[in-house]
Amino acid sequence: MDFNLNADMAESYGTWVMGNDEALLPIINSANIACGFHAGDYNIMANTMRKAMENHVSIGAHPGFYDLHGFGRRPINLSVNEVEHLIAYQLGAAMGAAALAGAKVTHVKPHGALNNMAANNIDMAMAIARAVKAVDASQIFLAPVLSQLVVAGDKCGLSVAQEIFADRAYMPDGQLAPRSRPDAMIDDPDMALTRSLAMLVEHKITAIDGTTLPITPHSLCVHGDGPSAVAMAEHLQTGLTEAGLVAKTLPEMMV
């Protein structure tokens, strides 16, 4: 059985540092690169892509709301046309930076509030999927399991990789628990590994109320912006490999 471990990165800005990309890149298999709207900038984007290539890590664009102060985690109400433009602009920037670095963007994963809102709103999800298809229909669409983004990606004919989260709790409807809840984040590496194995091997999510939901996962996300992100990623990569799973990049998973 195969697995893909992805992480969000390139979320620093100028001299302000977020996360530890240098330490994470040798551990993960795919990187979601911030495109400058919720975090990151043109230098950090291109330099992180070069380092991802050196570590044989596949590269994804990670577009979010235009919200540096809120790190893209604050809901913003946009029209479907604005959402399409928002995605096209950032995906284009990521593809340009990748070309300069001699790399290639192979997947797209929406960030933060944009991702959460579209997960429950088919019109917004369709706008994101349409924009990805218009810019580059060969992109893998990395979308949360049991979300409207999966539906939208399928409707637009994109290759959809369904994503699960190692360090986040789930609500009974299959959506991520809001960060405002005290039990939203999973900080214990052993608990995260146990939950990840259940999702990857048994194809099921256990929600906070004990509800079990069937899923078809392709990629496991560990957040790269926490103080224990590197230790968590290393524990997951080691534990999953020792359990007999084989680590692959996202394009390798979707062959």
What confidence tens digit (pLDDT) does each residue in 131-180 have?
Answer: 999 999 999 999 999 999 999 999 999 999 999 999 999 999 999 998 88
Q: Going from the N-terminus, what domains does the chain have, and what CATH number goes with each?
A: 2-253 (3.20.20.370)
Length of the chain: 255
Q: How far is Cα 212 from Cα 206, in angstroms, rounded to an integer?
A: 5
Q: Which amino acid is at 44?
A: I
Q: Are 176 and 170 spatial neighbours (Cβ–Cβ below 8 Å)? A: yes
Burial of 15 (0-12, 13-18, 19+ CB in 10 A): exposed
Interval 174-198 mean pLDDT? 93
103-128: per-residue pLDDT in tens? 999 999 999 999 999 999 999 999 99
Tell me 178's DSSP state.
P
Residues contacting 29, CB < 8 A, separation 6+: 4, 5, 6, 57, 58, 247, 248, 249, 250
